[in-house]
Structure 1
Amino acid sequence: MAAGGSAGEQGRRARAQALELARRSREAYALASRYEAAAEAERQVAASLMGLTAVGWKLLVDRRWPGTRSANVDMLLIGPAGVFVIDVKRWRNAPAVKDGHLLAGTEPRDGEIAKLLAMTRTAEEKVASLGMSPVALRPLMVFAGHRLDTTLGHVRLLGHPDAVHALLAEPKRLTPQMVRAVTGVLEDAFPVYETADLGERPVEPAPAAEAGTLFDTEEVEKAALASALHAPIENWMTFLHPDQVAVTRRDWSGPARVSGPAGTGKTVVGLHRAAHLAARGHGRVLYVTFANNLPRVQAQLFRRMAGAFADRVEFTSLHAWANTFLTQRGITPRLNGDRADDAFYRAWIQIGRDSPLTDIDPSPVYWRDEIHHVIKGRGLTSLEEYRTIARPGRRTALQAAHREAAWLLYEEYEMLRAGRGVSDFNDVLTAALEEVRQRPADPPYASVIVDEVQDLTLVGVKLLHALAGDEPNGLLLIGDGQQAVYPGGFRLAEAGIGIKGRATVLRTNYRNADEILAAAMDLVSDDPFDDLDGPSPNGRRTVETVYNDGRVVRAQAPTGTEHDKQLVEAVRNVPDLAGAAVLCPSRRDLEACARLFRNAGVPVLSLEHYDGRPVEAVKLGTYRRAKGLEFKYVFLPRHDAALPVAEPGNAAAGERAELARRQLFVGMTRARDLLWLGSVVTQR
């Protein structure tokens, strides 16, 4: 159970906390009376919030607003839930939000909101030097004498009697050390205006009954208990490198791209960027990735990070979005991947296996990928187009006879597929692209963020570009070609996307320990890769690391049985099963691992059902399903068994080997503290 043992113990602690808050507030109320300029209502608000200093908060009162001549900030409150820039109001008429406007009775007061947002932006700039994300700063308007709890854009509006317990119920973002560091920066940046701060002072115990005049002790007790039962939020959700903070807040004049090697925080930046855009409330934000399991995890993390405006961002996989979009338009694609695959293999038997294609590669898988990732993935409609098209990511040269044979195979597949009345995944994206071009999304998306963009096809990227267009801050592409786990590729120019002057490369790895990253980079350092704008000469990249406390364990066993015994024992020995994952190259390997752990009594959870919340079970998934995720302990059983043996002179086999190494590389770089590499080494 989180933070404090049994529910009874949690309740006792929460009540003790509530009583201490009440005592501290009573003392603070008396202290606030020394402010000659402070009205009774302001003193009440200050006293209530001052009570939070009993449980780790810091309160700065009446501070100068830097950059202005005489303006002041009523209060800055720093605590476990983040930083709150507070404007205290004492209106005779009740505050209300109507049609996106703030009213005092019937009088519009939008200017008050604009001023508070400007103050908050100043605070954001000051703490950016610490790497603090803007999502951890919140403008707060507190109304003395009124009951209220609502939002207007990024601003939270609270009645004075509701403020303390609402703040205590917020998710935890800052450790005590962070609170002290942030407070120090803000004290320097926002100097004292005319009077002293409400500092922390020792107080004499007071009867609890006397404290009820400032806030309801029972309500505070309930809020404190609810807050204690929330698991602490990961530090990366609040603090970023200052360079990453700059990316999340940057205004781009058109489509932009964030790239960088594994572990450099690209997804973290993407999530904070989504929070930044959502907080500004300019319209709907779509966050898209290729894998269908990743949006659940990202949405869960985002809800914990973004709080009140989490519902302004839609998380989805590309194919799920396209399918839903078409259905809403009255178009129902008859998507059936299994029947479509069967149509392909029948086409291969009839057209492919006795064709010149077998001179390049006798495996039908290579040619299935050629159809899905090159011909249909690029939206080609004629043999003439295919004859001359470049094939990024597929370096095997095709002569005219091979292209003609591949096109005939494609046509046979299409005829058989259509005859069965089924669609494949490419058909769904192509139909969605045509529909968006004819009738744009209504309402439109203000921003589209694409994570793991290197795994999309060209048609998929064109679809997302059609949704966002070239509007400022409209399209953000996040990804790394070295982590592409599917064959094929494309160039951004082919999608009509220009990012000149709007590209950022992250170069510091925050996830992997040095030893883990070095092992992973050794695997792919000699392999060139395509990265949307052109090929790289090799996989060697300059990456800085900041994390050293981790290791690689290479477990070799003479038999499969012994290998599996070592795997189970190693998983059982991890201190935190919730942070462990076992990753495999294929679904068949995954099913074998699932049986192994179930028979050993080790709880398992498939990545297909994982949503990012801590679960005391080892996570099981393929390398591809682990994209975008990270775990403390990663186990890769028989990790080298799936790597193809090199075949000199066979370009197609070389492609397969490079792809397999990239997939294994992705699996290895999911590990933070421990990377376990299992092998079966037969003795001769």
Structure 2
Amino acid sequence: MVAGGSAYDRACEARRQERELREQLWAARREAERWEAASEGERRVAAQLLMLTGRGWHLLVDRRWPGTRAANVDMLLVGPGGVFVIDVKTWRAAPEAAGGRLTAGRQPRDGEVRKLLAVTRVTEAALAPLGLSPVAVQPLMVFSGRSFDAALGRVRLLGEREVAPALLTERVRLSAAMVRVVAAHLETVFPAYETSSAGPAPAGTPSAAGPLPPAPVAPVAPVTPLPIRAAAHDEDALFDVGALRDAAAKAARRGPIEQWMTFLHPDQVALVRRNWSGPARIGGPAGTGKTVVALHRAAHLAQRTTGRILYVTFASNLPRVQRTFLRTMSPAVVGRVEFRSLHAWARAFLEERGIAHRLHGGRAEDAFSRAWVRRGRDSVLSALDPSPRYWREEIDCVIKGRGITSFEEYATLRRHRRRAALRRPHREAVWELYEEYERLRTERGVHDFNDILTLALAEASARPGRSPYAAVIADEVQDLTLVGVRLLHALVGDAPNGLLLVGDGQQAVYPGGYRLSDAGIDVRGDRGQVLRTNYRNAKAILDAALAVVADDAFEDIDGSRLAGRRDIHPTYHDGQVTRAVFTDPQARDAALLDALRARGRASWPDSAVLCRSQRDVGRYRRLLERAGIPVCALERYDGRPVAGVKVGSYRRAKGLEFKHVHLPDPGPWLEPVPDGGGRPATAWTAWAPPGAVDDEIALERAQLARAQLFVAMTRARDTLWLGVVRAAEQDARREGAAYELRGAAVTPYDARGRHREAHVPYAPYAQPGRGA
């Protein structure tokens, strides 16, 4: 060994250890500086948020991310505006959000966004048992020392000074009781963060175990864990899950009806957040919250996908209302959800693809009227029903609505929701009428509403990869035709979470029908969900409405056969049904005005007068206006509160609800059974209008009329007023006039389809897509 070699080796080892210690020291210093900067940044942001605690907000800081060893959540803020998962960033370089990416100093920071979204999903899952909708949980990234305002998907990006003003402008989503319960629940789910180093946490580190340092920030108001018990008298002290649900429902009922429509019950949260492997269907009786679930589902999907969401209905007025409701619930995503009626969307789709079409309902109806004179009026069809209405429906809803193109297919077709048994000679006559109508329509160079859907289906099927939609939601799907459902299916196919169909066969207000299997859609298993709890109607109202359809069994779109009086679980046991019987229409109308005035002007924005026909709609609008009662026509209602009574038809009211509903003329074929008649007072007896020679056609009309009345009655939440003119019914029966069910109305026609009163040619029913 060289002299001094051993000492040299020890010196080299010592210097190596010194270098390692210096590197560790420098690394520790840099880490400490970063933590000190982050801590200082969190204190600065917390200082901005503390001003909210005096307005009913609760702030939780430095919480442990459940399911992880050391990960933490900077802040959880709970207040009237909802729940905000806050990630505070103190970056030397300025943040930039462009092209869907987050950068700082040209360095990608998308990982920080993904982390925030992950903890947001954990928060949503933690709050699901309380019934809090995912739209009430929002991810928020706040940049300390910066002025910034942007968004990346559902993540809001704000600067230190912008955060508090932005939160103050949030709409009220949670009551005071709910805020306290949610905060206490989150404090349990996200426990206080405990540092992994030995010894106490460094001074100045934010911790949920105590308030923030006193300087320069005032202490955070602590959130004391609340006992899990129900209070007997103080609603704000209800802190168990069941009591919270009741308190939320009561608070929503006290607010305007537009706020109630955005209420989501805890039992429905799972459907909003569920991942389906293919097309899905949500069904259930009236009042079970199907539309509310669909709207929350649209917001949920819009937050988690990059494509657009298409939300379609049959009625033309409903999309405006639903867009307003979604804007109220989740304004950040409303721009990514497209609300359209199916026919309006199909026309825009054809124009976008350059497909020529010429929709002209009037000329198409003229073509049918001429076809009826030439091929129908003197055929075997008149022996079943001399009115052209039934046979127009056969062409619209059965032949063209189901995409039938050959007589062989029609000859053996099962005609869903059509009771008349058509033998081969009748079907041959119908087909001759259909072919004559198509020939005359083609000569005029026009399309009807069914043609628009058929053209759109052909285009969508030919180019399936060009759909811009990540998901399609169809509300009131039972009112669509089979061709319409096939069209929506063609847009997204069987993609996971692609197609959601929402509706109930009992509430179908148009003739004809289909099965989902006819469209190649399989929703068996967990992809077919049925809601059974009624959250809307007072029990008395629900009982009265169910009595109308109690004897009308029906086939749902999934093929199941259901009884008219279904198993429904009511949750609201207040409410009132008023049945008033009059001897003349003038007395009834005077009583209607008295009922509206007695309830008071404050109730008018939450009230509706619903009528069976558009003619009656016009008459009652004029009646109310002459009486000094402000009116809002349902065809113009867009979901925003208005200081007037809504007036519209039964069909226009589909998908809507009101605290108080008035039906001044429920129909001459229905009258209440008086007390002591051997049946409950809520029961109704029906008689079929004698316009049809065939009994099955008459019964079909009467059943459809009862379904329409059932829909109108179930729009009422708190009170339902029914005005019946019994003398007019008796006179109509004595006259024995042929009554034609025209839309939701009953209008007398003679055997040739001419109006008895006006002596004008037969006027067809309102065309699909135009509403009624």
TM-score, with normalisation over the residues of structure 2?
0.78
Q: Which stretch shows the higher mean deviation, 185-194 or 434-443?
A: 434-443
Q: Is this contact kept in 2: 1:132–1:239, CA < 8 A? A: no
Distance change (3 Å), C-alpha of 1:537 and 1:668: same
Q: 1:680 aligns with which of 720, 725, 730?
A: 725
Q: What's the CA shift string for 1:39-98, capped at 9, x where partnerless?
A: 322211011111110111000011111111111111000011100000100000011112
* Aligned residue identity for 2:107: E
For 2:445, the equivalent position in structure 1 comes to: 421
Q: Secondary structure at the match of 2:581?
A: strand
For 2:309, the equivalent position in structure 1 comes to: 285
For 1:411, the equivalent position in structure 2 comes to: 435
Q: Superposed, which structure 2 residues align to 1:128-167 within 5 Å?
A: 128-167=128-167
Following the alignment from structure 2 to structure 1, what is the Cα–Cα distance between the partners of residues 210 and 169? 23
1:352 paired to 2:376: yes
Q: 2:632 aligns with which of 597, 605, 609?
A: 605
Q: What's the CA shift string for 1:171-220, capped at 9, x where partnerless?
A: 111111111111111111111114345769999xx9xxxxxxxxxxxxxx
Q: Computing the radius of gyration over CA atoms, which structure comes out larger, 1 or 2?
A: 2
Following the alignment from structure 1 to structure 2, what is the Cα–Cα distance between the partners of residues 539 and 651? 18
For 2:119, the equivalent position in structure 1 comes to: 119
Following the alignment from structure 2 to structure 1, what is the Cα–Cα distance between the partners of residues 37 and 98? 32
For 1:625, the equivalent position in structure 2 comes to: 652
Following the alignment from structure 2 to structure 1, what is the Cα–Cα distance between the partners of residues 214 and 256? 29
* Aligned residue identity for 1:510: Y
Q: Is this contact kept in 1: 2:612–2:665, CA < 8 A? A: no
1:645 paired to 2:678: no
Q: Is this contact kept in 1: 2:469–2:491, CA < 8 A? A: yes
Q: Is this contact kept in 1: 2:664–2:722, CA < 8 A? A: yes
Q: Is this contact kept in 2: 1:623–1:667, CA < 8 A? A: yes
Following the alignment from structure 2 to structure 1, what is the Cα–Cα distance between the partners of residues 482 and 397? 8
For residue 346 of structure 1, report the CA deviation from its aligned partner.
Answer: 1.8
Q: Is this contact kept in 1: 2:82–2:174, CA < 8 A? A: yes
Following the alignment from structure 1 to structure 2, what is the Cα–Cα distance between the partners of residues 257 and 282? 23
For residue 538 of structure 1, report the CA deviation from its aligned partner.
Answer: 2.5
For 2:610, the equivalent position in structure 1 comes to: 583
Q: Is this contact kept in 2: 1:173–1:233, CA < 8 A? A: no
Q: What's the CA shift string for 1:3-29, capped at 9, x where partnerless?
A: xxxxxxxxxxxxxxxxxxxxxxxxxxx
Q: Superposed, which structure 2 residues align to 1:56-455 within 5 Å?
A: 56-194=56-194, 195-196=207-208, 240-440=264-464, 442-455=466-479
Distance change (3 Å), C-alpha of 1:328 and 1:37: closer
Structure 1 residue runs of 5 or longer lacking an equivalent are: 1-34, 207-230
1:554 paired to 2:589: no
Q: What's the CA shift string for 1:548-603, capped at 9, x where partnerless?
A: 22110111111111111011111223341110111111111111112211221211
Q: What's the CA shift string for 1:376-414, capped at 9, x where partnerless?
A: 001111111110111111121100000000001111111
* Aligned residue identity for 2:721: W
Q: Is this contact kept in 2: 1:135–1:238, CA < 8 A? A: no
* Aligned residue identity for 2:289: G
For residue 671 of structure 1, report the CA deviation from its aligned partner.
Answer: 0.3
Distance change (3 Å), C-alpha of 1:199 and 1:560: farther
Q: Secondary structure at the match of 1:634?
A: strand
Q: 1:654 aligns with which of 696, 699, 703?
A: 699
Q: Is this contact kept in 2: 1:173–1:238, CA < 8 A? A: no
* Aligned residue identity for 1:352: G
For 2:569, the equivalent position in structure 1 comes to: 544
Q: Which stretch shows the higher mean deviation, 80-89 or 187-196?
A: 187-196
* Aligned residue identity for 2:717: R
Following the alignment from structure 1 to structure 2, what is the Cα–Cα distance between the partners of residues 38 and 419? 76
Following the alignment from structure 1 to structure 2, what is the Cα–Cα distance between the partners of residues 553 and 199? 58
Q: Is this contact kept in 2: 1:173–1:232, CA < 8 A? A: no
Following the alignment from structure 1 to structure 2, what is the Cα–Cα distance between the partners of residues 36 and 349? 89
Q: What's the CA shift string for 1:232-263, capped at 9, x where partnerless?
A: 89665665333310000000000000000000
Structure 2 residue runs of 5 or longer lacking an equivalent are: 1-34, 195-206, 219-254, 671-685, 731-772
Identity of aligned residues (%): 62
Q: Is this contact kept in 1: 2:263–2:292, CA < 8 A? A: no
Q: Which stretch shows the higher mean deviation, 42-51 or 335-344?
A: 335-344
Q: Secondary structure at the match of 2:75?
A: strand
Following the alignment from structure 2 to structure 1, what is the Cα–Cα distance between the partners of residues 41 and 713? 58
Distance change (3 Å), C-alpha of 1:454 and 1:232: closer
* Aligned residue identity for 1:447: A
RMSD of aligned alpha carbons: 2.1
Q: Is this contact kept in 2: 1:291–1:317, CA < 8 A? A: yes
Following the alignment from structure 2 to structure 1, what is the Cα–Cα distance between the partners of residues 572 and 595? 23
Distance change (3 Å), C-alpha of 1:59 and 1:197: farther
Q: What's the CA shift string for 1:334-366, capped at 9, x where partnerless?
A: 212222122212211121111111222222111
Q: Is this contact kept in 2: 1:132–1:238, CA < 8 A? A: no
* Aligned residue identity for 1:323: R
For 2:40, the equivalent position in structure 1 comes to: 40
Q: Which stretch shows the higher mean deviation, 474-483 or 523-532?
A: 523-532
Following the alignment from structure 2 to structure 1, what is the Cα–Cα distance between the partners of residues 210 and 634? 50
Distance change (3 Å), C-alpha of 1:136 and 1:552: same
* Aligned residue identity for 2:637: Y
Following the alignment from structure 2 to structure 1, what is the Cα–Cα distance between the partners of residues 436 and 571? 53
For residue 680 of structure 1, report the CA deviation from its aligned partner.
Answer: 0.8
Q: Which stretch shows the higher mean deviation, 651-660 or 185-194?
A: 185-194
Q: Secondary structure at the match of 2:640?
A: coil
Distance change (3 Å), C-alpha of 1:143 and 1:631: same
* Aligned residue identity for 2:715: R
Q: Superposed, which structure 2 residues align to 1:450-529 within 5 Å?
A: 450-501=474-525, 502-529=527-554
Q: What's the CA shift string for 1:449-469, capped at 9, x where partnerless?
A: 000000000000000000110
* Aligned residue identity for 2:475: D
Q: What's the CA shift string for 1:591-647, capped at 9, x where partnerless?
A: 111221122121111111000111111111111110000001100011132657336
For 1:667, the equivalent position in structure 2 comes to: 712
Q: Which stretch shows the higher mean deviation, 645-654 or 425-434?
A: 645-654
Q: Secondary structure at the match of 2:162?
A: helix
Following the alignment from structure 1 to structure 2, what is the Cα–Cα distance between the partners of residues 506 and 269? 10
TM-score, with normalisation over the residues of structure 1?
0.88
Q: Is this contact kept in 2: 1:171–1:233, CA < 8 A? A: no
